[in-house]
Amino acid sequence: MAEDGILKKTMLAGLGIYSITREKAQEIMTDLVKRGEMSKDEGAKFVKSVLDKAEDEVAHLKEVIDKQVNQAITKIKPTYEEEFKKLHKKIDKIAKDVEKLSK
């Protein structure tokens, strides 16, 4: 299913953004601390706030993906249910035919 690939790529992109965000936040913090524009304590708080925001974004992305998956399943499910009903009817008919033949 093509949607599977899109969902997987979207999730991986979200995780990649989180990883890049962590690296960038630490680089920026290190640079600001070296230049004396921020203390190490302020830098740690800065990195934590950036990562918290990134985690919120990843959680939101997960919610969006879950919603899309559920929508896709909702579209597919009736098709399978109808197929199962048809197969069940065929099996019942075959079972009746076998029963008639064995009498």
List the domain boundaries for the chain: 2-101
* Mean pLDDT score, 20-42: 82
User: How far apart (Å, rounded) are the C-alpha atoms in residues 74 and 63?
Assistant: 16
**pLDDT at residue 13 greater than cutoff 60:** yes
Residues 67-91: pLDDT tens digits? 888 888 888 777 777 888 899 999 9
Q: Are 81 and 88 a contacting pair, CB within 8 Å?
A: no
CA 29 remoteness from chain centre: 31
